[in-house]
């Protein structure tokens, strides 16, 4: 089932058009990776899908998911290192994303937070403050929070940019498991071509004034990996 559809969208940054006439759809349960050089509109596309910026032209349509039901991890955490919240409190705060009139946590919210804390192996650190964690632990906490905000879609903008190789490998394995075993749709922005080819179902390569959409096997078969 198609859950997000971008129809001929054009996006601008600082009044300059950087994404032009882009069309693609996202299928429920799919893993999509968006790649491209700096300045080609990857993060702007993410913000458009989240409804934080409006396309100059074209439309983004949703089916079976709402904008406020998309779990999101940005390039840089909005949580200050000196913010005195525990891991549990930060994960639980993801449930606020879907609340409009009731700013309180229900029993179901708390059960969902407990589930993802357990699933991402955060039980032993759930009482610790965010500032005391390693980079890999922080990213797993933010992932658990994003999962509390969604039913089916995770949107990740350079989620491993600040991680070491070991933590990066672990993070990719976690989101791949969420995709394949839990049917969470993954849309991620990355410069990591190798892991994009390894895990993604499709790759959207943005470049100045154009775009290409590949399946990983097409790039590997053509030996075109170094040209994306």
User: What is the structure's pLDDT at 99?
Assistant: 55
Average pLDDT, rounded, for the chain: 87
What tokens were used for 41? Answer: 């509109």
Query: Is residue 227 included in any domain, yes or no?
Result: yes
Q: CATH no. for residue 23?
A: 3.40.50.300
Query: Is residue 216 included in any domain, yes or no?
Result: yes
Phi, psi of 43 (to 5 degrees): -70, -35
Query: Is residue 50 included in any domain, yes or no?
Result: yes
Can you tell me the mean pLDDT for 6-20? 89
Number of domains in the chain: 1
Query: Is residue 42 included in any domain, yes or no?
Result: yes
Q: Which domain holds residue 57?
A: 1-65+189-228
pLDDT digits (tens, 9 = 90+) for 82-130: 667 899 999 999 988 665 555 678 899 999 999 999 999 999 999 999 8
User: What is the structure's pLDDT at 77?
Assistant: 63
Pick from 219, 187, 215: nearest CA to 201: 215
Window from 75-79, 102-106, 120-124, 161-165 with minimum mean pLDDT: 75-79
Query: Is residue 59 included in any domain, yes or no?
Result: yes
As a whole number of angstroms, the distance between CA 168 and CA 127 comes to: 24
Q: Using CA of residue 133, residue 134, residue 138, residue 140, what is the dihedral sign?
A: negative
In this structure, the strands spanning 210-214 and 202-207 are: antiparallel
- HEC string of 126-172? CCCEHHHCCHHHHHHHHHHHHHHCCCCEEEEECCCCCCCHHHHHHHH
Confidence bin at 147 (pLDDT 50/70/90): very high
Can you tell me the mean pLDDT for 55-73? 90
Query: Is residue 90 included in any domain, yes or no?
Result: no
As a whole number of angstroms, the distance between CA 78 and CA 212 comes to: 32
pTM for this prediction:
0.87
As a whole number of angstroms, the distance between CA 214 and CA 84 comes to: 44
As a whole number of angstroms, the distance between CA 141 and CA 133 comes to: 9
Alpha helices in the chain (DSSP H): 42-50, 87-93, 107-119, 135-148, 165-182, 193-199, 216-222
Query: Is residue 115 included in any domain, yes or no?
Result: no
Query: Is residue 26 included in any domain, yes or no?
Result: yes
């Amino acid at each position: 089932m198609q859950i997000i559809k971008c129809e001929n969208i054009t996006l601008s940054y600082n009044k300059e058009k950087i994404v032009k006439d882009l069309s693609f759809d996202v299928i429920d349960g799919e893993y999509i990776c968006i790649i491209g050089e700096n300045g080609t509109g990857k993060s702007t596309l993410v913000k458009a899908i989240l409804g934080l910026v409006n396309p100059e032209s074209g439309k983004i349509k949703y089916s079976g998911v709402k904008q406020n039901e998309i779990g999101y991890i940005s390039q840089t955490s909005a949580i200050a290192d000196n913010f005195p919240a525990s891991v549990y409190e930060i994960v639980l705060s993801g449930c606020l994303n879907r609340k409009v009139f009731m700013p309180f946590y229900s029993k179901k919210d708390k059960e969902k937070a407990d589930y993802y804390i357990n699933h991402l192996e955060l039980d032993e650190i759930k009482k610790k403050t965010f500032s005391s964690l390693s980079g890999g632990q922080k990213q797993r906490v933010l992932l658990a929070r994003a999962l509390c905000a969604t039913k089916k879609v995770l949107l990740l903008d350079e989620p491993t940019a600040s991680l070491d190789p070991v933590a990066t490998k672990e993070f990719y394995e976690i989101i791949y498991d969420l995709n394949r075993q839990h049917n969470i749709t993954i849309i991620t922005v990355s410069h990591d071509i190798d892991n994009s080819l390894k895990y993604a179902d499709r790759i959207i390569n943005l470049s100045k004034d154009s775009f290409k959409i590949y399946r990983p096997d097409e790039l590997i078969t053509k030996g075109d990996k170094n040209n994306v």
